[in-house]
A and B are shown apart, each in its own frame.
Chain A
Amino acid sequence: MIFRDLEELGILGINNRVGRYILRHNKRSNYPLVDDKVLTAQRAETWGIAMPQNYMIIENYGSLKNFHLKIQNYESFVIKPANGSQGNGIIVIKEIIKEERNGITRILCRRSNDKLMDIEEVKHHISGILSGLYSLKGHSDTAIIQAKIDKHSIFDNYSYGGIPDIRVIVFEGYPVMSMVRLPTKSSDGRANLHQGAIGAGINLSDGSTNNAVIKNQVVDIHPDTGHKLVGLKIPFWRESLELAAQCYDMVELGYLGADIVLTPDQGPILLELNARPGLGIQIANLAGLVPRLEKIRLKAPKNLLAHERVDFSMKNF
């Protein structure tokens, strides 16, 4: 069989992920807690899990009218669809510029990739979000205006443009596998593997990167900064894993992907959760998920606290 190698490595395939793990361990009714970032933020607040500050929640076109006035209170912001997926529809504005010409004031927004957007364009983008252009099911959506997060200095040499994030797969509350996604020039500063960001696998035991890939191809150095990608040690590692593990208690989804960012001042905070995390993480780690998932399913003790589950994972994976 041509799949023998995959089986030996314990690679998790899509059908297996859906049939054996997602459908069996994720309760459908809990999906909105993950898919809708407004609900996630509310939940996170009651659970004391740190997330980026939400400046505004825009639910209808009417609230867009004064958007250009309200937004001037902030220096930078991020626009997100509440029900988006794969980072689609997200725009990061790092600077708001007021420009006066012939007595007419123009408000321009500088994106993370240094492109300038007129405030009208920004509003148009938001109205696109509201009409459901980026939503998972195509229904009308809510737009979130959120605080822009700054990059932790550890990533200065490992990221081009945007902010790297750490993806942790959590199964039944146990961290299973992790990677850090590092934006590149070709990914347009986004931490999205499909668009060409680097995925670097992380050893759960010590938080150091073990391997890195771009679009399924192994790479040794960051193509834009030239820094070696293996051996990077992620700070606040244990805290990050504990944060991810707590998310299981918060949304009660057995198979979960937690996206975490390291902030310079607050340490790790939760960016978003994903009920159908991708399988590319296996390539980033050069390891299959199945043996780890099965170990947790069969051997891991039940009813442990988040930090105890992290102990188990750090010891075993």
Chain B
Amino acid sequence: MKKLIFIITTLLITAPLAMLLYKSQVLNLSLLPQMVDDVWNFHLTVRPKGDRTSFSFPIPKPGPGIKITDERIRSKNFEVFIDSNSDSTLATWSAKDPIKQKVTYSARIDLKPLSYKNIPKDHTETYPKGLQRYLKTLNLLPEDVAAISLLEKAILEGNEDKTSVIRKIYYYVEEEIQRNTNIKTIHEALTNGKGSPLIKAKLFNILARRQKVPSRIVVMVRMPELKSTAQAKVRFTFANEVFLNNKWIPIDTNRGYFGERPDNFMVIHRNYDEVEKIISKKRVSYSIQAERARINRFNKSEFKKEVVKSDSIFSKLSLYRLPLPLQTMFTTILMIPLGTLVLSIARNVIGIPTFGIFTPILLTLFFKETSFGFGFVFFFVVVLVGIGERYILDKFYLLAVPRLSIILTLVIMLMIGYSLFSSDIAMISQNHLAFFPIVIVTTNIERLSIMLTEEGLANTLKTLFGTLVIAILGYLLYSIHALEMFMFTNPELLFTIIGFLILIGKYKGYRLSEFLRFRDLVRQKKKKTEGISNDIP
């Protein structure tokens, strides 16, 4: 019998672990979905200068590598017009009186790095009409034109495809023109071999267009470093995009990226020519704040793809195949067995007393579905209602079941009352099962008042405390988001939990609480035996 239990327990515990190993080593599945936290909270504040009743400013537009959610434009006292017909978006604020206030734009922005490697050769001759404006040559001083022609002769061979030409121009501007923020004209740049980021971008733009490659200067925002705590001032910076093989390819001669854009750069406008005047310091003052949004969410959808792609038996058994609401439910439910494991240890190994067997777990669920602070307070209110009700209705000599039902009804009234007068009800209404656990707990409340009369305050408080301690332990466990996802991703671990539960079920040793309970016995016994040995001369 002992052997059998040993074998079963070992199997239950090790088999799922072996499965985990197989999944991660053989199938190369990740054991947890990837965390995504590259979301930015982006705030833009703009104030026009001078007496203007209307002004415009670029705002981010979704595109390759950039996703925008929760966009908000404060539009009180203004009319806001959003123009996103071109490759970029321009917001225009207007009012009856000259605008003296700041206007704000905020959004949640998800940035992904862009990378185009091995750009094929490009021999395009004609471009559609829409691209013609990116081919317009700019007015230059005659001596600059001469200098540029010399330059082109030096670096280009004349019969290359457009991709190679662009690459050569890129290398020239990136390496030969040194970064110097004081140099602000093309002429100076050509004569000194130095230039500001904007001048470098402009020079690249001129050279590309002269070779009949559609090109534009993009206005970007460099997102602050993750670890920098100081609020660094975020300014606009510039880079280029060229149209090769029917695609806009990012190029940054200032930071040395060809066909790449890292995910700490966000394009706010794709054609500098259009916004040159709009963003000039003479016309507006702006400030930008960007910080990483603190959301640790797991990218379930990506993981689902991964699981389905693996095409193993696990892909058929995976909970990721379920519809999303069911997934959410099971993430919570799969934690319950883990909670029972904690409960079993707390009760049978440590010896913490609790009201009812599963009350602590129900409380944990309640804390989780609402919030800890609220759950805690609400639980105590329910306890008070339970005790108060018994105290008041005791005189009426009601039978037990109707009386319990009255407590239940009172608690429901309490919920309604709270819902009507509370502002953060949204947090509860998201989950329509939020209050269910506390309703069940209510049925145990009457036991509390009976215990109070029969076993006294000390014992009751001890039990109440024990219940809360386990509930809080469970809550802490639940707040480990990775653990939740781990159970959801690998539900076979439930067998492991059963294995451990069997082990606890077979535990015949002392409970930690018994050490305290029999402490005096041990002390007295020792005293007595010592007393006897002392009597012997």
| Neighbour of B455 across the interface among A120, A194, A218, CB < 8 A | A194
Within 8 A of A (CB), among B231-274: none
State A143–B517 Cα separation when bound (angstroms). 34
Majority secondary structure, B binding face: helix
Does B142 belong to the interface (CB within 8 Å)?
Answer: no
Complex: chain B residue closest to A218, CB-CB: B524
CB distance from A297 to the nearest CB of B (A): 15
Residue tally, chain B, CB below 8 Å to A = 27
Contact B510 A6 (CB under 8 A): yes
Does B480 belong to the interface (CB within 8 Å)?
Answer: no
Across-interface contacts of A11 in B (CB, < 8 A): 510, 514, 518, 521
Contact with B along A85-100 (1 / 0, CB 8 A): 0001000000000000
Across-interface contacts of B524 in A (CB, < 8 A): 211, 218, 286
Binding stretch for chain A, among B91-99, B119-127, B501-509 = B501-509
Contact A6 B400 (CB under 8 A): no
CB distance from A61 to the nearest CB of B (A): 8
Contact A6 B522 (CB under 8 A): yes
Contact B521 A282 (CB under 8 A): yes
| Neighbour of A128 across the interface among B351, B400, B507, CB < 8 A | B400
CB distance from A177 to the nearest CB of B (A): 13
| Neighbour of A282 across the interface among B455, B456, B506, B518, CB < 8 A | B518
| Neighbour of B522 across the interface among A5, A20, A127, CB < 8 A | A5
Within 8 A of B (CB), among A14-63: 14-16, 19-20, 61
State A133–B522 Cα separation when bound (angstroms). 37
CB distance from B524 to the nearest CB of A (A): 5
Interface residues on chain A, size class: 35 or more
Given the interface pairs A13-B509, A19-B508, the reply to whether A127 lies near B397 with Cβ below 8 Å is: yes
State A15–B504 Cα separation when bound (angstroms). 10
| Neighbour of A3 across the interface among B401, B507, B509, B528, CB < 8 A | B509
Across-interface contacts of B450 in A (CB, < 8 A): 88, 133-134
CB distance from A247 to the nearest CB of B (A): 26
| Neighbour of B397 across the interface among A9, A19, A120, A134, CB < 8 A | A120
Does A2 belong to the interface (CB within 8 Å)?
Answer: yes
Contact A132 B525 (CB under 8 A): no
Contact B400 A15 (CB under 8 A): no
Across-interface contacts of A266 in B (CB, < 8 A): none
Across-interface contacts of A216 in B (CB, < 8 A): 517, 520-521
Within 8 A of A (CB), among B312-363: 348, 351
Does A195 belong to the interface (CB within 8 Å)?
Answer: yes
Contact with B along A185-198 (1 / 0, CB 8 A): 00000000011000
State A180–B492 Cα separation when bound (angstroms). 53
Contact B520 A283 (CB under 8 A): yes
Does B459 belong to the interface (CB within 8 Å)?
Answer: yes
Does A124 belong to the interface (CB within 8 Å)?
Answer: yes
Contact B456 A9 (CB under 8 A): no
Q: List 26 A-B contacts (CB under 8 A).
A: A6-B510, A6-B514, A6-B522, A9-B522, A11-B518, A13-B508, A13-B511, A14-B351, A16-B509, A19-B508, A88-B450, A120-B397, A123-B397, A124-B397, A127-B397, A128-B399, A130-B399, A131-B401, A194-B455, A195-B455, A211-B524, A216-B520, A283-B517, A283-B518, A283-B521, A286-B525
Chain A residues packing against B (C-beta within 8 Å): 2-3, 5-7, 9, 11, 13-16, 19-20, 61, 88, 120-121, 123-124, 127-128, 130-134, 194-195, 211, 213, 216-218, 279, 282-283, 286-287
Chain B residues packing against A (C-beta within 8 Å): 348, 351, 397, 399-401, 450, 454-456, 459, 506-511, 514-515, 517-518, 520-522, 524-525, 528
